Structure 1
Amino acid sequence: MENQEAEITLKSPRKPFPGWLYGILFVVFDAIGVGVLEWGVTATSRVKLSSPTIGWGFVTKMWTDLNFVAVLNLLICGIVYLILLMICNRFWVATPIYLAIAIIIAVIEHFKIVIRYEAVLPSDLSFLKSDTGNLMSFMPAGAHWVILGAAAGFLVLLGLCLYLNRIDGRHGRMFRSSDRRTGLVNASARILLVILPAGFLGAYAMQAGTVGSWANNFNLAMGDQVSMWDSVYDAQRNGPIVSFLRQLNPKVMEKPADYSEATMKKVAERYSKDADTINAKRSANLNDSTVVYILSESFSDPSRVPGLKVNKDSMPNIRKIKEHTTSGYMLSSGYGGGTANLEYMGLTGMSMANFDSSLSSPYQQLVPGQHWTPTINQLWGAPKNSIGVHPYESSMYSRATNYKKFGFSHFYTLTGPDIISHQDKLGTSPYVSDASAYESTLEELRKTKGSQFIQLITMQNHMPYHDWYPNNEFTAESTTGTPLGKNEKESIQTYQKGAAITDKETEKFLNQLDKIDKPITVVFYGDHLPGIYSTASEDENNSLALHLTDYFIWSNKASSSQGNKVENSEYTSPELLHAQAAEHMNAKVSPFIAFLTEMHGKISAMEPPVVNKIQGWQRIPEGQSLYLNASGKPMVESDFDKETQQLVDDYKLIQYDITAGSNYLKDLGFMDLPKR
């Protein structure tokens, strides 16, 4: 009898796992998946793990900062896990599938970061469709070890799942039915538990990038801290899933009510006629000259900051240059940051004032997914004629990817793939000097006798500023009655010295261009003021002054436009520099540049609402865009005359068509210079 009881016990089915245990295991495996994804964006030597918000800090900041972005990632991944679970109806089948997906994504993230220092972006999905056959070429050195390690990790997790399935008398079956009626109820429940979470996830993904939406507000409440300047840091800080979904469906612009193919044909015809009128009075061809755009990091005049007294002029040479050529003040949308936005406007002629407030970084949210990206350098023809130079990391703002898309053949940076040749620094500054940046640019200019377009973005005067330069003779003090703080004073005085060095090196650079026997025109502008004037920025009445930088357009001795100083040049904004450069050079224009010329004639400068605070990445400020007339006075949109309003409306149509619409203008010659 005892032997019979023992035999029955051995043959009896194993106990099924209780529901609460499945709940615990679901959370555990969900967390493993999130952890694997976070590993994918942190496990590389190129990633800087100095921030407490990444690595283990991704989790611990729940307690240290009450930041629950890790929980947000758990919720999103948990929804995907739940959908798989309902489809499979087997816990021990859905779990390894979920973990395999997480591991594959993590490995792809790891490889892309190693190769490009860039996280996976929504635009990469189109790459998978169009260029899947070349995926193997993106494998970094040692990729097989990562793949083997990932495979080994998956096998361990798979083995754990198989073991748990074996000891689980239920074998992970979520819904069991003993009759047809119960089966129908269970099937209906499973379908609902697929449709509802999938619907929620789809709605969330479509709204996560739209400021003010429920999904965006939920992200913020959970601790999402948008870091658009660096896609890897953004993925580390907020989780790769949150970072990815936030950029999946950015709201670019409101569709103009009258947008259609017929409307865009009328717009193209209107400015084609304007181009013909302008071109009848001009003799030069824009692309017969070499044009160099210089975005001088944070360059501006400290003596114009309200409430600040300086002991010495930081820009005597540039001030003199400005007196004898086209020059003035540039209205900047940034303060202390936002370089890539000013750069984007300068290259494309598109205005941040026209975009939705949710589109805070076109380089990250817009350009990677665009089908058509017309930029001024493309007027010089083949990519070999377009060169980019930037003495910093190529991955910042996804520049390496975007510049290739813009049609630049080379983009020389510190991190490559094209390495900049000159990398000297000054004092204890961590940034490459302007002298080195200019020397690298001169090398590119001397390589060919033909005309080129060169874009230089400098780094010497980038924040922060910490007493970098020895024997600094510059001093500053407040005239408001409130003394400058110690840190503010040190930053301003260090910045003054750096600006003075830029001033001298810029003059030297132009003198070198005068020795080159080919026509060269330089478009020089400071992108924004440094965010160091905390005393001045407290007063909103100083807003306009803190958003005006210096610019000039200059031509060398070999150019017929040397010494030209066009009318209405006192104020501008980066998107209008196309038109001013062409006018300065007496060059013929495309219908688009003709439009910008007309716009600048009515509105000298335009930017989205500006505020006295460091560049934010959550949204562009709301309110009326800032428009300046030829005297630098703000204009009210309700007071626009009919012609000005027509231009503003047409600008929105043009920009919508290029960035978010059907690209009707692409085949209408709107961007083309006149045939010779």
Structure 2
Amino acid sequence: MDNGQQRQDNEIEELSIRTINPDDSGGAQRTHGTRTARAIWAVVYAVLFLLVDYASLAIMQWGVALTSTRVQLSSTGENLGTMWHKMVTQGNCVLLLNLIIIALVYLMLLMATNRFWIATPILLSAAAVIAATEKMKIATRYEAILPSDLNFLGKNTGDLMKFLPPEAPMIFGIAAAIIVVSIVASVICAHFDPRHGALIAGGNNAVGACVRVLLVLAPALAIGGYGQSVGVVDSWGYHVSRGMGDKPSMWDSVYDAQRNGVVVSFLRQVDPKVMDMPATYSKETMDEVAARYRKDAARINETRTHSLDDSTVIYVLSESFSDPTRVPGVELNKDPMPNIRKIKGETTSGLMLSSGYGGGTANLEYMGLTGLSMANFDASLTSPYQQLVPGACWTPSVNQLWGPPENSIGLHPYEPSMYSRETNYKKLGFSHFYALKGDDIISHQDRIDDSPYVSDEATYESTIEELKKTDGNQFLQVITMQNHMPYNDWYTNNEFEVHDADGSTKPLTDKEKKSIRTYAKGMELTDDATLKFLEELDDIDKPVTVVFYGDHLPGIYATAGADTKNSIDLHLTDYFIWSNKASWSHDTKIDDSAYSSPNFFIAQAAEQMNAKVSPYIGFLTLMHEHVAAMEPPVVNTIQGWDRIPEGQAIYLGQDGKPMSVADMDAATKQLLDDYKLIQYDITAGANYLKDTDFMSLPK
């Protein structure tokens, strides 16, 4: 504290202990007046505390409001108005949760400075800076501030200036105005305030200092404990957050911040629990694991004659693709996928166990690209693309086996910000990610009839164009959008009819039939477009292998979902691995493909292509021989962002029947334990495998 502030504290303390001379009525009146004034200002502090708390949240919510200058302020009001409406009508108190957290920060500032008129402009200025940063990031990338963005602070801060959007001057101007107004208003108020904003008289003596320290540490510990626990299933912070109405919507970080508040949305992602460290984890253990699967890979490679990068490989994640005729209780008047059904009968194919139902696309995508399994992660980790990849130090993925980034291309005819894909694909080693917006615009964007989504045929055309740009081999990741929910009646000449299957105990609702009918037509369009796509690949004079799979079932089967016996059926999609005529593996059909999960696709593709494997892919090959498919515990409701906290992961045998860990043989248990060690080292551990040849293909 400086001398001036010390004197002010002493003056306030003297006022508080001054005795009243009974013979001095004027002095008594002055003392009474002073006390009254101080009481009035205490009330003013309390009222302003609440108003400034709310104003700070409003400023930060302005940061994630719509970016159009005409609707910024109105959308901020609508945003907060929606929160108020939900609190009053639904008991959703996420607005209150945001205000409480900001109030705790405010209290810390008040106690640290012991000056109301200093802490207040600091809080409002910080809110303005956060809002301006949010606004500019959203304008540039349509993505809210994430905890991983803090990595840019320090030596990389200057690089951020290269990405300022055109509206940056206006955003800076509004933020500066908020800061200036808050400072000027505080200076004026402090001038008329007899306490000069001091909150604790004698705040620098032993008692006052202890009170201030306590009121700084207590809120800090509360916020810190909340931030560390809110991302952990079944923790106190998790229950507080969910109990007050936090409903994570992490597929879209901007919507999540709008819906749940900037503060709550950010803190939820600060410290998610990735995995428990295996008891045997150490450098020595990981060296042993690497050596063990190095030997297995060498054994596998004795009969393999090619390398993965001898071919172009295309992963096609077909949005919500899954045979509706397999769903209990559903019957259609004709087959929506005759071409793919025929293709599946001629090549490596089967059913894929999905961790999602009605959503969760990016998790399946992540597993396919990394070979890692959601079954091994803690239930707290609900979305690796948001909670893990942005801050990861090491992100090995299968596309990196094709060498430099220019050999890895991603295509997705939708918003590149969804699941933070644009950022994550760069980190995964892709040189281009073609989408509807951003630096790389996908070339074909045709829709069918009244559908709002780009057709699969158009997406395949864009893929063929990328494939023909080079004679070299590539890895292409294609994520379609045509069959994304909702399933409104937007196709003309839709001849599909939906009926209750024979023996159904409960009839389908009219809403279900309408959605299934539209979905079935979309499936038929995908079926035709996929056949045409493969025929075009057959005409290309270089080896190409396609891994095609549906990510999850659409969330339209409420009747089937009401029966828990249908859990596995509602998590099985279709997949196939196909090679064109220019490939030596054309017409190949490998064994043990009846069931799979996306983490095993790279191992299956290598077997399809008779390609040599790395120790990691060698491990996945052995793992798939013992466990055909694996996913976290599944439910029959639409994919949310809360995983089941308890229960065994789902393991399927080659016959498609669930396996119990207790009944597994020693070799299978060893593989599962090694899988957790490998996954922990890559995602949460010390990356011991990074300095080995574990991920490297044989030369």
- Give the TM-score of the pair, scaled to structure 2: 0.93
User: Which segment is superposed worse, 649-658 or 303-312?
Assistant: 303-312
In structure 2, C-alpha distance between the alignment counterparts of 1:614 and 1:514, rounded to whole Å? 38
Paired residue for 2:102? 77
Distance (Å, rounded) in 2 between the aligned partners of 1:538 and 1:84: 51
State the match for 2:653 in structure 1.
Answer: 629
Q: Quote the offset at 1:320 in angstroms.
A: 0.8
Residue 421 of structure 2 is matched in structure 1 by 399
Deviations, residues 139-197 of structure 1 (Å, cap 9, x unaligned): 1102112111211122122222112111110000112229xxx8211011111111111
Match runs of 1:204-243 below 5 Å: 204-243=226-265
Contact 1:568 1:630 in 2 (8 A): yes
1:608/1:621 contact within 8 Å kept: no
Q: Structure 1 residues 568, 52: closer, same or farther in 2, change over 3 A?
A: farther
Measure the CA separation in 1 of the matches of 2:124 and 2:189. 15
Q: For the residues of structure 1 that align with 2:617 and 2:105, how far apart are their CA atoms?
A: 48
Amino acid at match of 2:179: F
In structure 2, give the amino acid aligned to 1:194: V
Which residue in 2 is equivalent to 1:590? Answer: 614
Match of 2:170 in 1: 145
The equivalent position to 2:157 in structure 1, one of 109, 132, 149, is 132
Q: Distance in 2 between matches of 1:415 and 1:32?
A: 33
**Counterpart position of 2:467:** 445
Aligned pairs for 1:309-328 (under 5 A) are 309-328=331-350
Letter in 1 for 2:486: P
Matched, 1:544 2:568: yes
Q: Give the structure 1 partner of residue 48 of structure 2.
A: 25
In the TM superposition, residue 209 of structure 1 has moved relative to its aligned partner by 0.7
Residue 533 of structure 1: aligned partner = 557
Separation of aligned partners in 1, 2:398 and 2:280:
27
Indicate conservation of the 8 Å contact 2:272/2:387, yes or no: yes
What is the aligned counterpart of 1:304 among 326, 329, 340? Answer: 326
Q: Which residue of 2 aligns with 1:250?
A: 272
Secondary structure of 1:655's partner? helix
Alignment partner of 1:386 is 2:408: yes
Structure 1, residues 283-334: CA drift from partner, whole Å, max 9, x if none? 0010111000000000111111111111101111011111111111111111
- The aligned amino acid for 1:159 is V
AA partner of residue 319 (structure 1): R
Q: Distance in 1 between matches of 2:650 and 2:253?
A: 30
State the partner residue of 2:489.
Answer: 467
Identify the residue that residue 496 of structure 1 maps to in structure 2: 520
Deviations 1:488-543 (A, max 9, x none): 10100111110011001000000000111111000000111111111111111111
Q: CA deviation at 1:55?
A: 4.4
Query: Corresponding residue for 1:66?
Result: 91
Q: For residue 658 of structure 1, what is the amino acid of its counterpart?
A: I
Give me the identity figure in percent: 60
Q: Retained in 1: the 8 A contact 2:407–2:474?
A: yes
Quick check: 1:36 aligned with 2:59? Answer: yes
SS in 2 for 1:415: coil
Aligned runs of 1:660-671 on 2, under 5 Å? 660-671=684-695
Q: What pairs up with 1:261-410 in 2 under 5 angstroms?
A: 261-410=283-432
Mapped to 2, the partners of 1:301 and 1:389 lie a distance apart of: 24
User: Could you give the per-residue CA deviations for residues 81-117 of structure 1, whole angstroms, max 9, x where no partner exists?
Assistant: 1111111111101111111111101100110011000
Q: Deviations for 1:461-500, whole angstroms, at most 9, x for unmatched residues?
A: 0111011111111111113153321111010011111001
For each residue in 1:585-616, what CA deviation from the matched residue of structure 2 results, as whole angstroms up to 9, or x when unmatched?
00000110000000001001111111111001
Distance 1:405 1:673 in 2: 21
Q: Which runs of 5+ in 1 are unaligned?
A: none
Quote the Cα distance in structure 2 between the aligned partners of 1:389 and 1:201: 40
Is the CA contact (8 Å cut-off) linking 2:121 and 2:183 kept in structure 1? Answer: yes
Q: Which residue of 2 aligns with 1:576?
A: 600
Q: Is the 8 A contact 2:58 2:76 kept in 1?
A: no
Answer whether contact 1:209 1:358 (CA < 8 A) is retained.
Answer: yes
Aligned-residue offset at 1:52: 11
Count residues with an aligned counterpart: 664
Tell me the SS of whatever aligns to 1:553: strand
The structure 2 residue matched to 1:483, chosen from 499, 507, 511, is: 507
Measured against aligned partners, the alpha-carbon deviations of 1:117-147 in whole angstroms (never above 9, x if no partner) come to: 0000000011223411212112110211211
Instruction: Confirm whether residue 189 of structure 1 aligns to residue 214 of structure 2.
Output: no
Report the residue type matching 2:44 in the other structure: L
- Structure 1, 273-282 or 57-66: larger mean CA deviation: 57-66
CA contact (8 A) 1:359 1:620 kept: no
* 1:42 partner SS: coil
Q: Offset at 1:666?
A: 0.5
1:608 paired residue among 632, 635, 642: 632
Shift of 1:436: 0.4
Single out whichever of 144-153 and 346-355 deviates more from structure 2: 144-153
Counterpart AA for 1:594: G
Q: Which runs of 5 or more residues in structure 2 are unaligned?
A: 1-25
**Contact between 2:66 and 2:75, CA under 8 Å: does it hold in 1?**
no
Aligned to 2:121: 96
* Alignment deviations for residues 536-568 of structure 1 (CA, whole Å, 9 cap, x no partner): 111111111111111000001111010111110
Aligned-residue CA RMSD in angstroms?
1.9
Aligned to 1:639: 663
- Helix, strand or coil for the counterpart of 2:582? coil
Q: 1:539 is aligned with what amino acid?
A: D
Counterpart among 632, 637, 641 of residue 617 in structure 1 = 641
